[in-house]
C-alpha cells in the first residue's frame, strides 16, 4: 500500500451535534434468506436435528440471529423467486409439490414456505420483506399473495390462509417487486421498459388490496451492468407513482489477492449509492413530483470464495455458495456498513446477503452453529448503530486504488440523544501502521468512554471454524480510548475494526 508524502499516522473526526445526516432506519441492518443451498434447509430449518424445536427451526441459529437483532429478513429470493409459485409453499406439507428450481439447478421440496417463514419471523423477532415473482408470473399473482397475507378474512385467499392454520393476517408491509430483472440470467428477464410497466402495474394492484404496504422496485443488480443508469431511469419513469424504494445490489471479492484494492471497494459502493440517488432525483424533477424515492440496498456482501463450488444437478439443498470468510472480509464488511450509514438519509433498507450458510455470517453443521468473521461488525453495527448519524468529516491521508482515492480510515459517528450515547465505528485499512484518532467532544459535556471493542488479527486470511469458532473475535481495547478536557483520543491498530462507545 503506497502511502503519499502527507501521511502522518493521525485521523481527526470533525462533528457537530446539530449537523446530522438522518435518523437511522433500523431496517438498514436487515438480512436475506433465499431458497438456495443450505440457507433454509439445514440452516434455519432442520427437522430431526438435535437443535431443532418442534417446528423444525434451529434454536442455535435463532439464538445467534437474536444476538444480531436482525430487524427485517428478505425472502424467498433472490433468483429463486423469479420462477416460484407461492401457492406451492402453503397448506399441508404432504400436498406440496416438488419442483425443479431452475435458478440454482436443484430440487425444491417446498417443505418450508410462506407460512413457516412467517411463523419463524415471529419466533426470531424479525419482520418480513417478501419478494414476489415478476419473472414467470404477473400482477394477478401479486394481488393474490397480498390478499393471502394481509386481508383478515372473507375472501378466497384470506380464507385459504385461515384454513392453513393462520387465523390472523400476516400484515407484511414491505414487498419486493421481483428480483434483478435487469439480469439476463433471471427467469423471465425483461427490458427496463417492460419491467417498469410490469412493476408499476403490480404495485398499483397490490396497493388496491392493501394501501398500507410499501414496494421496492428492482434497480441494477450491479454498477457494472451495461444497462446501469438507463435501467433506473426507465424503470422509475414507468413506475414512479407506485414505487417507494429502488433496490441496489453489489458484491466484492479479492480473487486477485490485492488487499488494498479490496478494502477500497467501499469507495465504489459509495459512488454507486450517490449515482443512483442522482438518477432517482432526476426522475423526480422531470415528473415534478413531491415524492422522494429512497433506496433499498437489499443485497450486499463479500462473495468470491465459493465461486468454484460444484453441485450435483437436481440435488436437494446442497452445499452451495458457502463462502468461508476471513479476517480481511470482516474489515470490508465494516467499511460497507459505515458507507451505508453515511447515506442514511436515502438508504433506508439494506440486507446483508445472506444470513445462514450461503455467503453468510452464520454457519451450521449437524452438530452446531458458529459465527463467521463478518458476524462481528454486522452484529455490533446492528446493536449499537442507532440514533442520528452525524455528518462525520474524516481528516485522514488517502491511497490510490482502482476505485479512486481511498481513505486509510473509514469512520462514522452516531448520536443517540434519548439514551445519551455516542458510538464511533472506524476501520483502519492500513496494513502496517496504527492511527491516532482525535475528536472534539466539547459539545457532549460529561460523555466518557464506556467501551472500545476492537477486531484484528495478525493473519488477514484467518477464519473461524466449528473447531476454532473464536479464532477471530473482538477484544476489549477500552484502555486505548479516553476523553480529557472534551477531547477524545484513541488508538486504531493497523488493520482493525473498532467500536468506541461513549455515554453521559
**φ, ψ for residue 114 (rounded to 5)?**
-55, -45
Whether omega for the bond prior to residue 41 falls within 30 degrees of 0, making it cis, is no
**Can you say whether residue 482 is alpha, beta or left, with left for phi > 0 and alpha for psi between -120 and 50 degrees?**
beta
Q: How many other C-beta atoms lie within 10 A of the C-beta of residue 321?
A: 23
Q: Which three cell numbers stand for residue 66?
A: 437474536
Q: Which residue has the cell 409439490?
A: 97
Strand partners, 483: 488
- CA-nearest of 119, 76, 117 to 99 is 76
CB of 344 closer than 8 Å to CB of 22: yes
Q: Which three cell numbers stand for residue 77?
A: 429470493
C-alpha–C-alpha distance, residues 234 and 220, integer Å: 11
What beta strand segments (E) does 2-86 contain?
A: 10-14, 20-23, 30-32, 72-75
C-alpha–C-alpha distance, residues 48 and 45, integer Å: 10
Q: What is the DSSP letter of 358?
A: S
Pairing of strands 409-416, 421-428: antiparallel
Strand partners, 498: 426, 454
Q: Which three cell numbers stand for residue 492?
A: 486504531
466 is catalytic: no
Q: Which residue has the cell 384454513?
A: 163
Q: Is 160 exposed, middle or buried (0-12, 13-18, 19+ CB in 10 A)?
A: middle
Q: How many other C-beta atoms lie within 10 A of the C-beta of residue 490?
A: 24
C-alpha–C-alpha distance, residues 484 and 371, integer Å: 36
- CA-nearest of 444, 453, 392 to 421 is 444
In this structure, the chain runs to a length of: 504
CB of 358 closer than 8 Å to CB of 40: no
DSSP-derived secondary structure for 270-339: HHHHHHHHHHHHHHHHHTT-S---EEEEEEEEE--TTTT----TTEES-S-S----BHHHHHHHHHHHHH
299 is catalytic: yes
C-alpha–C-alpha distance, residues 317 and 340, integer Å: 32
Catalytic residue, candidates 116, 180, 232, 388 = 180
Catalytic residue, candidates 87, 101, 232, 299 = 299
C-alpha–C-alpha distance, residues 363 and 335, integer Å: 22
Please calculate the CA angle 48-49-55 and round it to the nearest 5 degrees: 60
Which residues are catalytically annotated?
180, 299
Amino acid at each position: 500500500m503506497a502511502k503519499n508524502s502527507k501521511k502522518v499516522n493521525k485521523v481527526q473526526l470533525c462533528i457537530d451535534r446539530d449537523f446530522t445526516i438522518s435518523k437511522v432506519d433500523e431496517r438498514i441492518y436487515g438480512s436475506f434468506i433465499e431458497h438456495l443451498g443450505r440457507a433454509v434447509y439445514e440452516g434455519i430449518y432442520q427437522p430431526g436435528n438435535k437443535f431443532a424445536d418442534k417446528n423444525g427451526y434451529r434454536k442455535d441459529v435463532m439464538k445467534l440471529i437474536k444476538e444480531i437483532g436482525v430487524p427485517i429478513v428478505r425472502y424467498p429470493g433472490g433468483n429463486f423467486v423469479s420462477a416460484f409459485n407461492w401457492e406451492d409453499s402453503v397448506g399441508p406439507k404432504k400436498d406440496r409439490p416438488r419442483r425443479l428450481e431452475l435458478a440454482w439447478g436443484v430440487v425444491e421440496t417446498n417443505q418450508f414456505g410462506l407460512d413457516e417463514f412467517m411463523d419463524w419471523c415471529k419466533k426470531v423477532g424479525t419482520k418480513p420483506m417478501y419478494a414476489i415473482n415478476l419473472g414467470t408470473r404477473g400482477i394477478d399473482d401479486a394481488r393474490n399473495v397480498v390478499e393471502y397475507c394481509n386481508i383478515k378474512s372473507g375472501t378466497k385467499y384470506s380464507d385459504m390462509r385461515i384454513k392453513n392454520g393462520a387465523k390472523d393476517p400476516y400484515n407484511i408491509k414491505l414487498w419486493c417487486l421481483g428480483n434483478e430483472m435487469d439480469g439476463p440470467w433471471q427467469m423471465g428477464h425483461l427490458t427496463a421498459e417492460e419491467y417498469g410497466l410490469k412493476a408499476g402495474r403490480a404495485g398499483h394492484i397490490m396497493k388496491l388490496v392493501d394501501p398500507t404496504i410499501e414496494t421496492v422496485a428492482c434497480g441494477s443488480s450491479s454498477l457494472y451492468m451495461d444497462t446501469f443508469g438507463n435501467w433506473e431511469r426507465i424503470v422509475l419513469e414507468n413506475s414512479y407513482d407506485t414505487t417507494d424504494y429502488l433496490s441496489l445490489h453489489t458484491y466484492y471479492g479479492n480473487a486477485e489477492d490485492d488487499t488494498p484494492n479490496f478494502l477500497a471497494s467501499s469507495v465504489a459502493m459509495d459512488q454507486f449509492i450517490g449515482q443512483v440517488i442522482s438518477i432517482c432525483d432526476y426522475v423526480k424533477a422531470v415528473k415534478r413530483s413531491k415524492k422522494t424515492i429512497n433506496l433499498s440496498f437489499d443485497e450486499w456482501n463479500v462473495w468470491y470464495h465459493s465461486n468454484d463450488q460444484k453441485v450435483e444437478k437436481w440435488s436437494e439443498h446442497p452445499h452451495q455458495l458457502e463462502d468461508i470468510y476471513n479476517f480481511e472480509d470482516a474489515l470490508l464488511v465494516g467499511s460497507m456498513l459505515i458507507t451505508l450509514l453515511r447515506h442514511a438519509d436515502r438508504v433506508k433498507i439494506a440486507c446483508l446477503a445472506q444470513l445462514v450458510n450461503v455467503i453468510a455470517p452464520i454457519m451450521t453443521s449437524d452438530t452446531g452453529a458458529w459465527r463467521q468473521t463478518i458476524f462481528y461488525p454486522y452484529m455490533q453495527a446492528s446493536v449499537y448503530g442507532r440514533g442520528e448519524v452525524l455528518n462525520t468529516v474524516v481528516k485522514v491521508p488517502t491511497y490510490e486504488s482502482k476505485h479512486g482515492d481511498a481513505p486509510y480510515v473509514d469512520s462514522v459517528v452516531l448520536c443517540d440523544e434519548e439514551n445519551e450515547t455516542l458510538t464511533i465505528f472506524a476501520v483502519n485499512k492500513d496494513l502496517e501502521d496504527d492511527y491516532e484518532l482525535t475528536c472534539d467532544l466539547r459539545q457532549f459535556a460529561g460523555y466518557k468512554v464506556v467501551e472500545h471493542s476492537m477486531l484484528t488479527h495478525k493473519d488477514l486470511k484467518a477464519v473461524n471454524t466449528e473447531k476454532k469458532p473464536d479464532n477471530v473475535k473482538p477484544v476489549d481495547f477500552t484502555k486505548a480510548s479516553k476523553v480529557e478536557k472534551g477531547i477524545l483520543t484513541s488508538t486504531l491498530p493497523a488493520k482493525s475494526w473498532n467500536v468506541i462507545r461513549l455515554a453521559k
